[in-house]
Structure 1
Amino acid sequence: MAPKSPAQGFLEKADKKANSSTGWFSSASTKFEEAGDLYQQAANAFKIDKLFKEAGDAHAREAECREKCQESNEAAQAWWNAAKAYKRVSPDLAIQALSQTITHLTQAGRFRQAADREKEIAQIYMQELNDLRKACESYERAAEWYSQEDATATANACYKDAADLHAELEEYPQAIARYEQVADGSLNSALTKYSVKEYWLRSSLCALAMGDAVTAKRNLQKYSALDTTFSSTREAKFITVLTDAFEAGDMESFTAAVYEYDQVTKLDNWKTAILLKIKRAIPEEPSLT
């Protein structure tokens, strides 16, 4: 018979302690506190053995013990430790554990930390599960919590990620609203003003992806009024050429503008994908109106 691993030994002790009856001189709280410590030791030993599912399970059992002791901060930490172990092997279990962490953090009014964990959930949905809808919802929830904690730059980064996902889901009006929200929040700071032209570019591309050159032009005028330097930027000139080509049904001019822009400023995957959608939507005959 194979010798028992240290992790298994700790786990058995923890189970025994958690299921034991309370004696004359000990309370239920003490029993679960001691069991929680043993589950934590078991989890750490499982990590040494690279058994991450078992480590996550042990941290989850630890968290339940902390909850029975009314130790909310310790329970939140245990659930987060469970999530970090689960992330190695099971995205779904990691999300469940992070959700438990967030419940404790929000109840304690620790919204900044809750936002950090919600952002982690968004990244798991996006990178591991390819669930853009749920990733978008988590980014927006995280952004709201960052905003109320005055972490404006982090909130804006999450709103921008949500806007990108709205666009990928072809929810263009929602994407435009989010890009404009982030741009408005960035205009008044010298540190973030430089990024505004990027948000307006993305917003304008969304308008064209809807096949709405009128909105693209109107928004371009609005953006130029908000920042008088915008109309002279490469981004504004790029949008103007694309919009004119779109309205004229001029595929050659559109393709040439994209090529020229990419030579100076490399297009990222998001822009490449949306420009392809716009190109496919270019009317073959120019509008008569």
Structure 2
Amino acid sequence: MPSKSPAQIFLEKADKKANSSSGWFASSTSKFEEAGDLYQQAANSFKIDKLFKEAGDAFAREAECREKCKETNDAANAWWNAAKAYKRGYPDLAIQALTQTITHYTQGGRFRQAADREKEIAQIYLQEQNDLRRACESYERAGDWYAQEDAVATSNACFKDAADLHADLEEYGAAIARYEQVADHSLGSALTKYSVKDYWLKSLLCALAMQDTVTAKRNLTRYGSLDTTFPSTREAKFVSALIEAVEQGDDEAYTAAVVEFDQVTKLDNWKTAILLKIKRGITGDMKLT
């Protein structure tokens, strides 16, 4: 029979320690502390062997031992280590472990760290599971926590990602509200002011995706009053041309405006997708709302 790996040996010792009855004088706390240390050693050995599911499981067992000893920081850390192992091919388990980590952080008032982990959950939902709805919810939760901790730039980045996802889900009203929120926060700083015209452009495209030229025109005017340089930007002129083409039902003028803008400012995937949706509205490939 094959010899046991070091990881297996640590795991068996840990199980034995965790399940042993405490003697007359030993406290159960010390028993779980020792078991936790052994699970951690087992987990690290499994990682060396590239057995990531087993490593994650061992870290999770470590976390449970730390919880029994009321070592909440160590428990949070162990859950996070479990999540990092599970990320190598076990997204559902990674999300569960990160959720446990977050519970410890929020109970301890460590909202900045909770936000970091919540953002990781959003990325797993998005990249591994293509679950836009849940990714969006996690980005918004992370954004709220960053905002509480005055991490404004990081909060804005999360809300912007949430806005993009709302638009992908065709929840254009929610997307517009988020883009405007991020733009408002960015207007106040010289460092972030340059990005505002892009948020407003996206917001205006969302209005056009709803075939709502009235809201698009009203918002275009309002954004110009918030920043007097906006009406002279390529973004604002681009949207004006699009609004006119949509109102006229002029497919060719619309396409010409898009091509002209793209030649100078390369359109990313998000903008390309929403511009196609707007165009389908003009050509009648979708029912007008």
By the TM > 0.5 criterion, same fold?
Answer: yes
Q: In the TM superposition, what is the alpha-carbon distance from 1:89 to its structure 2 partner? A: 1.6
The aligned amino acid for 2:178 is R
Q: In the TM superposition, what is the alpha-carbon distance from 1:168 to its structure 2 partner? A: 0.3
Q: What is the match of residue 26 of structure 1?
A: 26
The answer as to 2:189 corresponding to 1:217 is no
- How many percent of aligned residue pairs carry the same amino acid? 80
5+ long unaligned stretches in structure 2: 285-289
5+ long unaligned stretches in structure 1: 285-289
The aligned amino acid for 2:245 is A
> Secondary structure of 1:3's match?
coil
Q: In the TM superposition, what is the alpha-carbon distance from 1:200 to its structure 2 partner? A: 0.1
Q: TM-score, normalised by structure 2?
A: 0.97
The CA distance in 1 between the partners of 2:93 and 2:283, in whole Å, is: 47
The aligned amino acid for 2:241 is V
Q: In the TM superposition, what is the alpha-carbon distance from 1:25 to its structure 2 partner? A: 2.7
8 Å contact from structure 1 (residues 10, 39) kept in 2: yes
Note the 1:51-66 alignment, pairs <5 A. 51-66=51-66
Count the aligned residue pairs.
284
The answer as to 2:184 corresponding to 1:181 is no
RMSD: 0.7
Q: What is the match of residue 105 of structure 1?
A: 105
Q: TM-score, normalised by structure 1?
A: 0.97
The CA distance in 1 between the partners of 2:49 and 2:260, in whole Å, is: 54
The aligned amino acid for 2:275 is L
8 Å contact from structure 1 (residues 246, 283) kept in 2: no
The answer as to 2:245 corresponding to 1:249 is no
Q: In the TM superposition, what is the alpha-carbon distance from 1:282 to its structure 2 partner? A: 1.1
Q: What is the match of residue 282 of structure 1?
A: 282
> Secondary structure of 1:186's match?
helix
Q: What is the match of residue 272 of structure 1?
A: 272
The CA distance in 2 between the partners of 1:265 and 1:82, in whole Å, is: 43
Q: Deviations over 1:153-177 (max 9, x none)?
A: 0000000000000000000000000
Note the 1:61-140 alignment, pairs <5 A. 61-140=61-140
The CA distance in 1 between the partners of 2:219 and 2:24, in whole Å, is: 75
The aligned amino acid for 2:180 is E
Q: In the TM superposition, what is the alpha-carbon distance from 1:283 to its structure 2 partner? A: 5.6
8 Å contact from structure 1 (residues 22, 31) kept in 2: yes
> Secondary structure of 1:282's match?
helix
The CA distance in 1 between the partners of 2:53 and 2:260, in whole Å, is: 50
